[in-house]
Structure 1
Amino acid sequence: MEQLPILNLSDWHAGGQSRHAFITKLADAARRIGFFYLTGHGIELARQQQVLLLARDFFALPLADKLAVKMTNTPHFRGYTRLQGELTLGKPDLREQFDIMQEETANPPRSDVPKWSQLQGPNQWPSQLPQMKTILLEWQQDLADTSVALLKALAVALEQSETAFDATIDAGPYQHMKLIRYPNANGETSGQGVGAHKDPGYLTLVLQDKQSGLEVQTDEGWLSIPPLEGAFVVNIGELLELASNGYLKATYHRVTSPPAGVERYSCAFFMAAQLNATVPLLPLPEYLARQALGPASDPLNPLFHQVGQNVLKGRLRSHPDVAKAHYASFANAI
């Protein structure tokens, strides 16, 4: 079975023949498997290890301290989710997590603005870890900058201007990040760390610790994606599949629970267009357009070109407790 390609982002920044070779390799990875390792991104190994250590420190807090920043406190889908509190395809995932997005001012509920505007708001931060806010917001912005560079490269790979997506991120791309802890499964729980799914945005960057668990669906079966020190695992999201009319591939992936006596920690960053944007359908050259089969269609999971609508749909389905607490009259309409 094949292995994930390794792309070095410094080749893109170098220009010339190095950039050309990077684009060729990127186009193949994004089209054929939808996943690749990314090196040369300029984010030091020490900072990566600092974020993973911070994840360990947070999840080691007493449950009462974590529940003080539980996600159901607000309608903004930020904060702590306890074990089996998130669903994938209607089944609970065996993981606990801490979600943040951009630090924003909350919009007051109004009937004349889209419901997805309630996604905007402040993050929740545990008082026991005062350093967490500064570290994670700086980390999140660095990953956003890396993602924007990749998005420009992907536009060129599709034979568009590298500014093709700029109108959808000119106010800053939508950012969503989560620290995640996967305990080992026992006889009373499934091994579903996270069930098979596609990511809804433009791009996802995942930092893994030393424990495997991430798997990608291929024509030959499920491919294990072991950690590669210093590298991020990058995957194509559904918005890029939409924008390219299915030429680029958003791939199903999952996480299996670690073996007995082992825990797994990771940090996942999701970048999408800004919430008020509409994803464009790119005018691909004819020879590429002939290979675009249209985005995958799932009647149980419709895709919307309007970004805020698409993001809110996914959040409501994944977090029914937040939906019940803050979107009860609206959730069934998604």
Structure 2
Amino acid sequence: MTQNTLSLPTIDLSLWQNQQTPDDLFLESLRNAAHEYGFFYLKGHGISADLNAALMAQAQEFFSLPMEQKEQISMVNSPHFRGYNHAGREITRGKADWREQLDIGPERGIVEDLKGKPAYLRLQGPNQWPATLPQFKTTVLSWQEQVLDVLRRLLEALALSLEQAENAFHPVVSKTPYQLLKLIHYPGQHGGGEKQGVGAHKDSDLLSLILQDNEGGLEVELANGEWLQAPPQPETFIVNIGELLEVATSGYFKAAIHRVVSPNSGRDRLSAAFFLGAQLDATMPVLALPDALANSSVGITQDPDNPLFSQIGQNTLKGRLRSHPDVAARHHSDLFSAVPSKVLHHA
């Protein structure tokens, strides 16, 4: 059942950006949103509506290309898990998601000599870009850079809301944190069945940021098991807490379960989802929270089919192997023995 009587809280980041020090009301609102829901709308972020519109226009152009052109940059060609996947190729909790998408990371060089080095360094490498869209790369990388700045700033505010130093999360995000942008197109589906655009899941990163078009479908699971709709709101992003922040706060911040229900037949949905992780060579610190907050923590959620690793690179690589078994089979078959088989077949 979907719950329609509540709505997600809205956080106005400009209330801090326009002041040298955030006030207690702003920090309390932010902390409560991250604790109670793990999801909130973000306005006052400073990213222009023109840049958001340009990104969505480029995404629309890409997904409108003939399939053979999109498949030229198929993810299965990339050992770094970058590129295009047609609908049904990515798996969530053992079921195919009905969405096509393009996965893009930061532009970084390949680690050439991996002998004796951690396997997670295989994730670093170049993107695949559509050759027929000359403005695509510039627009995407510009948007990524600005969103990264917003989320780093938001992490500082979240740290202050927990009565920590503003730079509490700097050691894991200040240099080269793992980051991923998914441009996603959800085709319409006929009524009946689950209509899984993307199945119910938690994000494994620190923070996720979602830019939606005007088509709804994103839903968040409440504590009572009901689903709260998160429809598009003008000039806002959706931000949600990832599992790394749940780990860092011993469960005080909630990495909420969420899903996307496919549009009805004849409609479609377009979104851009940016995931900010931590540096692959880092281990996530656990913060010492004030007693008043620590006593409200419910602890870290443990899923036997999706174990959490505190070492960032190990946890990130596990997620990519699990979600993209075709890439794993072609490029990383030697790693299967290091990852429990049930992890590779669930998401």
With the length of structure 2 as denominator, give the TM-score of the two structures.
0.93
Contact (CA 8 Å) 1:140, 1:175: kept in 2 or not? Answer: no
Aligned pairs for 1:4-43 (under 5 A) are 4-15=8-19, 19-43=23-47
For 1:293 and 1:189, the matched residues in 2 are separated by 33
Q: Which runs of 5+ in 2 are unaligned?
A: 340-347
TM-superposed CA distance for 1:19, in Å, is: 3.3
Q: Any conservation in 2 of the 1:94–1:190 contact (CA below 8 Å)?
A: no
Amino acid at match of 1:324: A
Find the counterpart in structure 1 of residue 344 from structure 2.
Answer: none
- Cα separation, 2, equivalents of 1:46 and 1:110: 42
Q: Does 1:52 align with 2:56?
A: yes
Give 2:236's match in structure 1, choosing from 218, 231, 234. 231
Letter in 2 for 1:243: A
Provide, for residues 263-290 of structure 1, a one-character-per-residue CA deviation record: whole Å limited to 9, x for no partner.
Answer: 1000000001111111100011122112
| Segment drifting more, 258-267 vs 47-56 | 47-56
2:270 corresponds to: 265
CA deviation vs aligned residue, 1:19-54 (integer Å, no higher than 9, x gap):
322111000000001000000011111211111111
Aligned equivalent of 1:77: 81
- The one of 316, 321, 326 aligned to 2:326: 321
Which residue number corresponds to residue 289 of structure 1? 294
After superposition, the C-alpha distances for 1:217-251 in whole angstroms (9 at most, x for unaligned) are 00340001000011000000000000000010000
1:167 aligns to 2:171 (yes or no): yes
Cα distance, 1:173 vs structure 2: 2.5
Farther off after superposition, 120-129 or 42-51: 42-51
Distance in 2 (alpha carbons) for counterparts of 1:243 and 1:281? 4
1:299 and 1:111 map into 2 onto residues whose CA distance is: 31
**Residue 329 of structure 1 aligns to a residue in which SS?**
helix
Q: For residues 330 and 172 of structure 1, what CA distance do their matches in structure 2 show?
A: 24
Instruction: Quote the residue 1:117 is aligned against.
Output: 121
Partner of 2:66: 62
4+ residue runs of structure 1 moved beyond 4 angstroms? 187-190
Q: Is the 8 A contact 2:114 2:121 kept in 1?
A: no
Report the Cα offset of residue 200 of structure 1. 0.5
In 1: Cα distance, 2:31 partner to 2:243 partner: 16
Give 1:216's aligned residue. Answer: 220
Percent identical pairs in the alignment equals: 49
Equivalent-residue separation in structure 1 for 2:109 and 2:317 (angstroms): 18
Count how many residue pairs are aligned between Structure 1 and Structure 2: 334
Normalising by structure 1, what TM-score? Answer: 0.97
Q: Name structure 1 gaps, 5 residues minimum.
A: none
* Preserved contact between residue 144 and residue 173 of structure 1 (Cα < 8 Å): no
